[in-house]
């Protein structure tokens, strides 16, 4: 299928905007050694070449060869170059949205090639061709719109938050004279950024109150749909809402709810700020170390922990969750493999937000097998995407394992 010449030129221009130093190295260094193949949970569950990290990257690499390299022009057959057309874009979609951006392949690659970054080219070109997943762009645009018109949604937000207070009080009685869920408090030490659902706010509020923290709740949700789309502009706009709020309230720290992508975007991809960015898991671990909260060590079921890719392999948070677990769990079992080698759950990269139940369940087979082999009765994690995917996997594969949020378990284990 031939593409409109003007569109092709526009897509080539977009492609070129992504060719920074790292990307050029990633596109020019792969020797097709094949070591990355077995790293991908999708390939492990569905062994097709298109589901290998190198298979995905090759589609981009072959377009790069055709339009940006001399050898692609002189001897296109040598690299089997690909013309930028509608068929190529369909392959881009298949590659980009079958990759969760877990970056497990980076651990396997002898050069450390970042497939997630290469896939950001595919995602950008899909946006350019108006072929991106519409649900993601709609959600991203809604987030941006919310940031542009805070005042109109603020009163409704505060009222909704007020309704959550009894649930927070049930978990932990707030000290007299303090607000159960403070909103818009200036000079707070911590700005907690939750998700739109109450499940992310209630347990966190209980923990923050138990620690006697001077905190305030963000008016925005942490999740960044722009990052799932690989759209740097939207990603920045969505993150800038929280940054502006934190600066306006003059907070010392921004604590990101259990959401791996939101944490990584805020921590690593938005530059330097006058405040620190921490994951809520790090904050809980700090409260425990400082003796600001105590947990009841009576949790009896065999529990295992799933390292979310964006928090572990891509964020460096491995030990804090384990330290927290050691404070309230009697029988802890490690998944095999774990930490940087842990299998991706298969829900990242926007797949959970997009739905895609059939693909997620098929590609999550290896994860389901790993969880089953652990013999655990409960699996907890620190990422909402992972929690949703693990819950779906547990149901689909009849694993008989309960899936919990780490924050939620901590909130229910709080003692004086």
Partner 1 sequence: MLTDKLILFIAAAGDAVSKATGVAESTAAVGAAVSADAVSSATVANAPVTGLAQIFGRIEYFIMVPMVYLALLFCLAAIVLHIAAIFKAPAQPYSLRIYPAAKRPGLAAAIDAFGMPQIRRRKPVFWVFLMIFHISFLLLILGHLDILPQISLVPEASRDMLGAGLVGVFVTVPLFYFLFRRFRSPNREITVPADYLLLILLLFLCLFGDLMSWGNSWTANGFVMTKQDFAQYFGGLLSFSFADPRLVLHGSHYHFVVIHVLLAEVFFIVLPFSKVVHAFLTLPINMLRRK
Q: Which residues of this protein are in contact with partner 1, per CB under 8 A?
A: 19-26, 28-35, 37-38, 47, 49, 52, 54-55, 58, 69-71, 77-80, 103, 106-114, 117, 268-269, 271, 312-316, 318, 339-340
At its nearest, how many Å lie between partner 1 and the CB of residue 24? Answer: 5
At its nearest, how many Å lie between partner 1 and the CB of residue 100? Answer: 15
Q: Which is nearer to partner 1, 150 or 232 (CB)?
A: 232
Q: Which is nearer to partner 1, 116 or 219 (CB)?
A: 116
At its nearest, how many Å lie between partner 1 and the CB of residue 233? Answer: 13
Contact 228, 254 (CB under 8 A): no
Q: Which is nearer to partner 1, 5 or 32 (CB)?
A: 32
Distance CA 76, CA 61 (A): 12
What backbone torsions phi and psi does residue 213 show, to the nearest 5 degrees?
-75, 145
Distance CA 209, CA 92 (A): 47
At its nearest, how many Å lie between partner 1 and the CB of residue 323? Answer: 15
Distance CA 400, CA 374 (A): 12
Within 10 Å of residue 35's Cβ, how many Cβ atoms?
A: 15
Q: Which is nearer to partner 1, 17 or 196 (CB)?
A: 17
At its nearest, how many Å lie between partner 1 and the CB of residue 110? Answer: 5
At its nearest, how many Å lie between partner 1 and the CB of residue 31? Answer: 5
Q: Which is nearer to partner 1, 340 or 377 (CB)?
A: 340
Q: Which is nearer to partner 1, 7 or 232 (CB)?
A: 232
Within 10 Å of residue 166's Cβ, how many Cβ atoms?
A: 10
At its nearest, how many Å lie between partner 1 and the CB of residue 43? Answer: 8
At its nearest, how many Å lie between partner 1 and the CB of residue 109? Answer: 6
Q: Which is nearer to partner 1, 34 or 197 (CB)?
A: 34
At its nearest, how many Å lie between partner 1 and the CB of residue 404? Answer: 24
At its nearest, how many Å lie between partner 1 and the CB of residue 195? Answer: 23
Q: Which is nearer to partner 1, 167 or 276 (CB)?
A: 276
Q: Which is nearer to partner 1, 35 or 153 (CB)?
A: 35
Contact 11, 127 (CB under 8 A): no
Q: Which residues contact 317 (CB under 8 A, 6 or more apart)?
A: 279, 281, 282, 311, 382
- Peptide bond before 274: cis, by omega within 30 degrees of 0? no
Q: Which is nearer to partner 1, 78 or 415 (CB)?
A: 78
């Amino acid at each position: 299928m031939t593409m409109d010449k003007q569109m092709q030129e526009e897509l080539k221009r977009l492609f070129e905007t992504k060719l920074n130093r790292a990307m050029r190295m990633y596109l020019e260094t792969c020797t097709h050694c094949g070591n990355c193949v077995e790293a991908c949970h999708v390939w492990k569950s569905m062994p097709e070449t298109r589901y290998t990290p190198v298979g995905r990257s090759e589609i981009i690499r072959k377009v790069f060869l055709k339009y940006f390299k001399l050898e692609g022009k002189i001897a296109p057959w040598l690299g089997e170059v690909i013309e930028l057309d509608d068929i190529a874009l369909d392959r881009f979609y298949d590659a980009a949205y079958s990759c969760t951006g877990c970056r497990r392949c980076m651990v396997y690659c002898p050069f450390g090639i970042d497939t997630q970054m290469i896939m950001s080219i595919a995602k950008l070109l899909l946006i350019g061709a108006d072929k991106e997943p519409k649900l993601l762009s709609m959600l991203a645009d809604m987030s941006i719109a919310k940031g542009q018109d805070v005042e109109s949604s603020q009163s409704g937000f505060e009222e909704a938050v007020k309704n959550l207070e009894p649930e927070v009080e049930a978990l932990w009685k707030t000290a007299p004279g303090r607000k159960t869920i403070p909103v818009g408090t200036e000079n707070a030490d911590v700005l907690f950024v939750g998700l739109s659902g109450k499940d992310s706010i209630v347990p966190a509020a209980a923990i923050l109150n138990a620690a006697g923290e001077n905190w305030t709740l963000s008016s925005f949700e942490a999740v960044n749909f722009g990052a799932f789309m690989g759209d740097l502009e939207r990603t920045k706009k969505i993150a800038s809402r929280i940054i502006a709020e934190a600066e306006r309230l003059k907070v010392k720290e921004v604590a990101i709810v259990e959401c791996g992508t939101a944490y990584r975007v805020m921590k690593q991809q938005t530059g330097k700020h006058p405040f620190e960015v921490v994951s809520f898991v790090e904050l809980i671990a700090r409260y425990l170390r400082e003796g600001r909260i105590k947990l009841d060590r009576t949790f009896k079921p065999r529990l295992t922990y799933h390292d979310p890719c964006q928090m572990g392999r891509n964020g460096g948070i491995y030990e804090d969750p384990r330290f927290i677990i050691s404070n309230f769990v009697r029988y802890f079992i490690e998944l095999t493999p774990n930490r940087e080698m842990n299998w991706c759950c298969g829900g990242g990269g926007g797949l959970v937000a997009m739905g895609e139940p059939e693909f997620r369940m098929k590609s999550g087979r290896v994860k389901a097998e790993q969880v089953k082999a652990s013999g655990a009765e409960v699996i907890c994690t620190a990422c909402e995407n992972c929690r949703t995917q693990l819950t779906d996997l547990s149901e689909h594969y009849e694993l008989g394992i309960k899936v919990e949020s780490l924050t939620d378990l901590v909130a229910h284990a709080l003692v004086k």
